[in-house]
Amino acid sequence: MRLHEYQAKQVFADAGVPTPASQLATTVDEAVDAAEDIGYPVAIKAQVHVGGRGKAGGIKLVENKEEAEEAADAILGMDLKGYHVSKVLVEEAVDFVNELYVGVTMDRGEGEPVAMVSTKGGVNIEEVAEEDPDAIAREHIDPAFGMHPFQARKVVYEAGVDRDVANDVASVLTTLYQLWDDRDGSDVEVNPLMITSDDEVIAADAVMNIDDDALFRQPEIAEMGEEAEEGDELEQKADEYGFDYVRLDGNVGIIGNGAGLVMTTLDLVDYYGGEPANFLDVGGGAKADRIANALDMVFSDDNVDSVVFNIFGGITRGDEVANGINQALEQFDEIPKPVTVRLAGTNAEEGMEILNEDLVTVEHTLEDAVQRAVEYAKEVEA
C-alpha cells in the first residue's frame, strides 16, 4: 500500500524528520489560501502515485498569489500520466544548496533490509543505480538487532556526505529505518533530502509503502490507505476483480499468472528497450471472465500502447485463457491496443488453436512475445 506524499510526510514529521510547512488543498481557493498562509515562495505539488511529476507539469514553484492561482488551476483536475489530480500539497519552498537520497528497503537477495544513501539526490534513484551504482552507499541491517548508530554514520560517511551535516543525515536515516520496522514498511525514502545554506536537513519529498499483509496491525496506516487510493480508478477496479496490480509509468501493458512470471516479463520489457505500464497478476486458475476483466483493466489505462500476455499453464489452462482473450476482444468493433500472446504449459497448444489471430499476435516464446509488444508500443510512439 502506497501513501501519498502528504501522508508520508505527516508520518515522518510525527517521528521527528524535518519537513517543510505545508497544507493540503482540493480547490484553487484552498490552494491560494494555503500559499498566503505559508508565505511565498511555495511549491504546488500534485498528489498522485506517479514519478516524474515535475517534468509532467505536476509541480510548480510560485512567487505570488496570481501565480499560485494559475498553478493550482492548471494542476487540479489535470490528467497526470493517467492519474486524475484531485489534491495538491502547497508547501514552503526550500532554498537548498545540495540534494541527497536516503532510503530503506528490503534486499531480497540478501534476505535483509538495506539502508541507502547517495549524494545524487533529486533524480530517479533507479537510474543512478543503473548508470553509477558506486554513487549509492549501502548498509545491510540485521533485523534482529535493528540499525546501530555506527551503521547509520558509516553509510553516510561512505556516501561522501559533507561532515557538517553528516550527523543530521544519519539521524534521519535512523528514523526512517525505525519507521520501516515499526510500520511494516516495504520502502521508505526521502528524495530529495535537501541541505540548506544554514546546514539544515529537510525532507522535501517522502515515500512510504507498507506491506499489505501487515495492515491488520497498522490501523492508522490502513485508514490513510483508504484515502490514498481514493480516485485511483484502476487500482480500485483491481481490488474489485481481486487482482494483484501495480500501475507503472510505461506504455507496455503486462498480464500474467504468478508474480514471478509477471516480474520476469517486466524485466524483459525493460531489457528489450520498452517501459512496463503495470504489474498485473491474474492468479492461478483464472477463467475466461477473469482474463476478460484483466484486458478491460489494461485497455482502460490511457498510457498503454500495447499489451503482452504471458501465461504458463498449470492450474490455469491455456484453452481457458484463449477463450477469455477472444471473448474480451470480440466485444470491440476495433481493438484499442495491439495484443501479443504467449501461452505455455497445460493445454497451451489447444489455446493457440483457439486464439483468433485476426485479433491478436501469437508468439511461441516469451522473448519473441515481449519484443513484438515493445515494437508495437514504439510504433504508436512514432
Domain ranges of the chain: 21-92, 96-227, 233-381
Contact 65, 36 (CB under 8 A): yes
Please give the pLDDT value at position 108: 85
**Between these two residues, 50 and 43, which has the higher pLDDT value?**
43
Please give the pLDDT value at position 238: 84
Least confident of 202-211, 279-288, 289-298: 279-288
Which residues, in sequence order, are CB contacts of 241 under 8 Å at separation 6+? Answer: 290, 293, 294, 297
256 annotated ligand binder = no
* Percentage of residues of the chain with pLDDT beyond 90: 68
**Between these two residues, 84 and 23, which has the higher pLDDT value?**
23
Please give the pLDDT value at position 106: 93
CATH code of the region 233-381: 3.40.50.261
265 annotated ligand binder = no
pLDDT at 74 over 60: yes
Q: Find the mean pLDDT for residues 278-293.
A: 80
316 annotated ligand binder = yes
250 annotated ligand binder = no
Q: Measured in whole angstroms, how far is the alpha carbon of residue 213 from the centre of its chain? A: 18
For 329, the grid coordinates are 476482444
* Cα 104-183-112 angle, rounded to 5 deg: 40
pLDDT at 228 over 60: no
SS (H, E, C) the chain: CECCHHHHHHHHHHCCCCCCCEEEECCHHHHHHHHHHHCCCEEEEECCCCCCCCCCCCEEEECCHHHHHHHHHHHCCCEECCEECCCEEEEECCCEEEEEEEEEEEECCCCEEEEEEECCCCCCHHHHHHHCHHHEEEEECCCCCCCCHHHHHHHHHHHCCCHHHHHHHHHHHHHHHHHHHHCCEEEEEEEEEEEECCCCEEECCCEEEECHHHHHHCHHHHHHHHHHCCCCHHHHHHHHHCCEEEECCCCEEEEECCHHHHHHHHHHHHHCCCCECEEEECCCCCCHHHHHHHHHHHHCCCCCCEEEEEEEECCCCHHHHHHHHHHHHCCCCCCCCCEEEEEEECCHHHHHHHCCCCCCEECCCHHHHHHHHHHHHHHHHC
Using alpha carbons, select from 227, 20, 190, 221 the residue that is nearest to residue 105.
190
Mean pLDDT over the full length of the chain? 91
Q: Which of 119-123, 191-195, 220-224 has the highest mean pLDDT?
A: 191-195
Active-site positions? 101, 189
pLDDT at 382 over 80: no
Q: Find the mean pLDDT for residues 92-118.
A: 95
Please give the pLDDT value at position 306: 96
* pLDDT class of 97 with cuts at 50, 70, 90: very high
Which amino acid does the sequence have at 181?
A: D
Q: Find the mean pLDDT for residues 82-91.
A: 90
314 annotated ligand binder = yes
257 annotated ligand binder = yes
Please give the pLDDT value at position 96: 95
Please give the pLDDT value at position 287: 67
Spatial separation of the C-alpha atoms in residues 377 and 382, rounded to whole Å? 9
pLDDT at 258 over 90: no
Q: Find the mean pLDDT for residues 147-175.
A: 97
Q: Find the mean pLDDT for residues 278-299.
A: 82
pLDDT at 225 over 90: no
340 annotated ligand binder = no
CATH of 21-92, one of 3.40.50.2300, 3.30.1120.10, 3.40.190.10, 3.30.1490.20: 3.30.1490.20
Please give the pLDDT value at position 331: 80
Spatial separation of the C-alpha atoms in residues 55 and 193, rounded to whole Å? 19
Spatial separation of the C-alpha atoms in residues 147 and 179, rounded to whole Å? 12
Please give the pLDDT value at position 66: 97
Please give the pLDDT value at position 330: 85
* pLDDT class of 332 with cuts at 50, 70, 90: confident
Q: Find the mean pLDDT for residues 36-55.
A: 92
* Cα 334-340-343 angle, rounded to 5 deg: 130
* pLDDT class of 361 with cuts at 50, 70, 90: very high
For 376, the grid coordinates are 508495437
Please give the pLDDT value at position 370: 97
Please give the pLDDT value at position 231: 46
CATH topology of domain 96-227: D-amino Acid Aminotransferase; Chain A, domain 1 (3.30.470)
